[in-house]
Amino acid sequence: MEQTIERKKRIFSGMQPSGELTLGNYLGALKNWIKLQDEYDCMYAVMDMHAITVRQDPAELRRRSLDVLKQYMACGVDPEKSILFIQSHVPAHAELAWVLSCNTQMGELSRMTQFKDKSRKHADNINAGLFTYPVLMASDILLYQADLVPVGNDQLQHIEITRDVAERFNHRYSDTFTVPEPFIGKSGARVMSLQSPENKMSKSDPNPNGFILMLDTEDVIIKKFKRAVTDSDSEIRAGEDKPGITNLLTIYAAVSGKTVDEAAKEFSGMGYGTFKQAVGEAVAAELAPVRKRFDELSKDKAYVEEVYTKGAEMASRIAAKTLRKVYKKVGFIGR
């Protein structure tokens, strides 16, 4: 009798170790990664190869790469359930990227908003890697035949080009890649700066009061929320005319698991001061255990090393299978 073994759907995602992680990274991506672990085969990587598209201090990059991995684990990414690894430990990412870059058009890449933004920010270093960044990202995802990619809103354009590249390759060379879908959480997909809520919360914001770092202490977190910009009226409700309050409500909703409407109801009639204090306390309470686990992991270097070494071995095996298939399809002679 024929038996069908159903494989769980696969998830792939990652973060660049190009700065310290923020509340935006946490609510937009990490918090969802944790929830998905039981239902899916998850793979989460530290995208160090992407990070060097802008200049990095080598010693800092090494420290941050490990810190990012430890923050994944401190938030609850469980190495017993998910594959955790460092991108540069699996050479297949770069190998597939070459083949895919020969199947991606310059025109498509020049439309990417992240490329345009970063070229503006780093006008003295518009390197070829910055331009082909989305091809490497497509390789990350397609190498593992990922079905779903949990990310914040700002990465949607990159998932879209990944889908285009996969579909085009499948059409040209026959079915090879799973065409992935983005997975965007209900709230927190776009956390804005606390100081200029029309901009995304980002680790590269020159004003540190604009962002909350995942490893900020409780005092700092509460202080930053107290300083968050609001507006001149006194009504706690979401709306396009109230970007500061909307952002705070969204953050509270994402942390508490409530909807933005429920959050607005909970705070209706309160003053801005009390409201900001409550949001700050909720975020501080959520992140305090993360910081504690991070400190514990920092004392156990051997364990962290074991996790990323095993992770790279497992990832390499899956990646090799896809790469072999791709090399054959494009006409390379097998080894």
User: Would you please indicate which residues are annotated as catalytic (active-site) residues?
Assistant: 118, 200, 203
Q: Which residue is nearest to ligand TYM (CB)?
A: 28
Q: Which of 331, 5, 23 is nearest to 192 (CA)?
A: 23
Name which of 103 and 153 has its Cβ closer to ligand TYM. 153
**Count residues contacting ligand TYM (CB under 6 A)?**
25
Q: Are the beta carbons of 41 and 78 closer than 8 angstroms?
A: no
Please report how close the Cβ of residue 33 comes to ligand TYM at its closest, in angstroms: 9
Q: Are the beta carbons of 101 and 136 closer than 8 angstroms?
A: no
Cα separation values, 132 from 105, 107, 189, 220, 248, Å: 10, 11, 25, 38, 35
Among 43, 83, 151, 319, binds ligand TYM (CB under 6 A): 151
Name which of 201 and 264 has its Cβ closer to ligand TYM. 201
Q: Tell me which long-range contacts 59-68 makes (C-beta under 8 A, separation of at least 24).
A: 61/17, 64/17, 64/18, 64/19, 64/20, 65/17, 66/304, 67/17, 67/20, 67/294, 68/15, 68/17, 68/21
Q: In what order do the strands lie in the sheet with 181-183?
A: 83-86, 41-46, 10-15, 148-150, 181-183
- Interaction between residue 68 and ligand TYM (CB under 6 A): no
Among 15, 84, 92, 323, binds ligand TYM (CB under 6 A): 15
- Interaction between residue 149 and ligand TYM (CB under 6 A): yes
- Interaction between residue 200 and ligand TYM (CB under 6 A): yes
Q: Which of 99, 81, 77 is nearest to 14 (CA)?
A: 77
Interacting positions 157-176 with ligand TYM (CB under 6 A): 158
Among 14, 210, 244, 280, binds ligand TYM (CB under 6 A): 14
Q: Which of 94, 86, 19, 81 is nearest to 48 (CA)?
A: 86
Cα–Cα distance for residue pair 27/100, rounded to 1 Å: 31
What DSSP state is assigned to residue 210? Answer: G
Among 41, 48, 67, 140, binds ligand TYM (CB under 6 A): 140
- Interaction between residue 28 and ligand TYM (CB under 6 A): yes
Cα separation values, 73 from 81, 83, 236, 265, Å: 11, 11, 35, 34
Name which of 50 and 163 has its Cβ closer to ligand TYM. 50
Q: Which two tokens stand for residue 62?
A: 């090494």
Site pattern 33..62 for ligand TYM (x: CB under 6 A): --------------x--x------------
Candidates 24-32, 168-176, 290-298, 318-326; binding stretch for ligand TYM (CB under 6 A): 24-32
- Interaction between residue 131 and ligand TYM (CB under 6 A): no
CA Rg value for the chain: 21
Please report how close the Cβ of residue 85 comes to ligand TYM at its closest, in angstroms: 13
Helix, strand or coil for residue 22?
Answer: strand
- Interaction between residue 141 and ligand TYM (CB under 6 A): yes
Q: Which of 117, 124, 131 is nearest to 53 (CA)?
A: 131
Name which of 14 and 243 has its Cβ closer to ligand TYM. 14
Candidates 6-14, 221-229, 235-243, 248-256; binding stretch for ligand TYM (CB under 6 A): 6-14
- Could you list the residues that contact ligand TYM (CB under 6 A)? 12-16, 24-25, 28-29, 47, 50, 137, 140-141, 149, 151-152, 154-155, 158, 189-191, 200-201
